[in-house]
Amino acid sequence: MAQEIIIRLRDVSTGKTFTFPANPESISGTLGAKYQSFDIISKGTVKVPKGTDVSEIKWSGEFFGYSKRNESVVNKAYYQLPNACVAQLREWQENGTRLNLIVTDSWINLDVTVSSFQPEIYGAYGNVKYSISFAQAKDLKIYTTNELKIAAFVKKTAPRNDNSQSSGSSYTIVSGDTLWGIASKKLGSGTKWTQIYDANSSIIEEAAKKHRKSGSDHGHWIYPGTTITIPAA
């Protein structure tokens, strides 16, 4: 029997998690470079975009009322009342909280913010239908005028070194890091996070066990102070 897909959000700052009690029928995304839409998960099929980062992920789903908590589509281990689900997601949306979104058994493991959340009560059982979308969270660097002048000077005068590579370099994980974020910074695309995990799986899994986890959940749980190797870009 196939393992059920889990969709989970984690507050990057506090570590608080929220797992969706019932999965949507499909998840879709938009590629950042060409604004091309695609299905990520549809009828059990996982599709991986190539060549660019994902700018948006979205889906529509349902939170079931208490009397419907035993429906087959509800993961009872993560059941919460609809009001509690709505309150948590609204709080994160209103605060612009940076979240790590992970969908197990897929490549989705990236930092996001809630860009849109629209819940709607319907029926006589307290069920709530909702639509939600996430924008990929990216670190922004604010440069001073002097920094811009220095950068322009270096770009203009520095000789090109075609042999420079980030391959084989080491990186020490800091608080708030995700493999997706590290891959974006070091390899140029978050979709290459699996390359980092594959090159460091034993180290990542060992660190997870030291923190009393049974495993890293394929790189979801990583810990500050862990030194990993960045593979060739």
Q: 200 lies in a domain?
A: yes
Q: Are residues 123 and 175 in the same domain?
A: no
Nearest to 63 by CA among 46, 49, 47, 83: 83
Total domains present in the chain:
2
Long-range (24+ apart) CB contacts under 8 A made by 139-142 are 139/181, 139/185
DSSP, residue by residue, 60-75: EEEE--GGGTTSTTB-
Q: Are residues 48 and 123 in the same domain?
A: yes
Is residue 25, in this structure, part of any structural domain at all?
yes
Asked, for residue 157, whether it belongs to a domain, the answer is no
Q: Answer whether residue 211 shows pLDDT above 50.
A: yes
Q: Which pLDDT tens digit goes with each residue over 15-31?
A: 999 999 999 988 887 75
Do 22 and 108 fall into the same domain? yes
Question: In this structure, what CATH number is given to the domain that contains residue 187?
Answer: 3.10.350.10
Residue 156 binned pLDDT confidence (cut-offs 50, 70, 90): low
pTM of structure: 0.56
Query: Considering 120, 136, 152, which residue would you say is the last residue of a domain?
Result: 136
pLDDT at 228: 93
Q: What is the pLDDT of residues 50-80, one digit of tens each?
A: 444 557 889 999 999 999 999 999 999 999 9
Query: Residue 221 sits in which domain range?
Result: 166-230
Both 127 and 208 in a single domain? Answer: no
- Is the Cβ–Cβ distance between 119 and 187 less than 8 Å? no
The tokens describing 33, both together, are 């470079």
Same domain membership, residue 110 and residue 179: no
CA distances from 186 to 105, 128, 168, 181, 183 (A): 24, 41, 11, 9, 5
Answer whether 98's CB lies under 8 Å from 12's CB. Answer: yes
Q: Are residues 81 and 132 in the same domain?
A: yes
Domain membership flag for residue 150: no
Output the pLDDT for position 223: 92
- What per-residue confidence (pLDDT) applies to 20? 97
Same domain? For 128 and 178 the reply is no
- The predicted-structure confidence for 100-151, as pLDDT tens digits, reads as follows 999 887 778 888 999 999 999 988 788 999 999 998 886 655 556 665 566 5
CATH of the domain at 47: 2.40.30
Residues 15 and 87 grouped into a single domain: yes
For residues 131 and 174, state if they share a domain.
Answer: no
Token duo for residue 51:
């060549």
d(CA 29, CA 192): 17
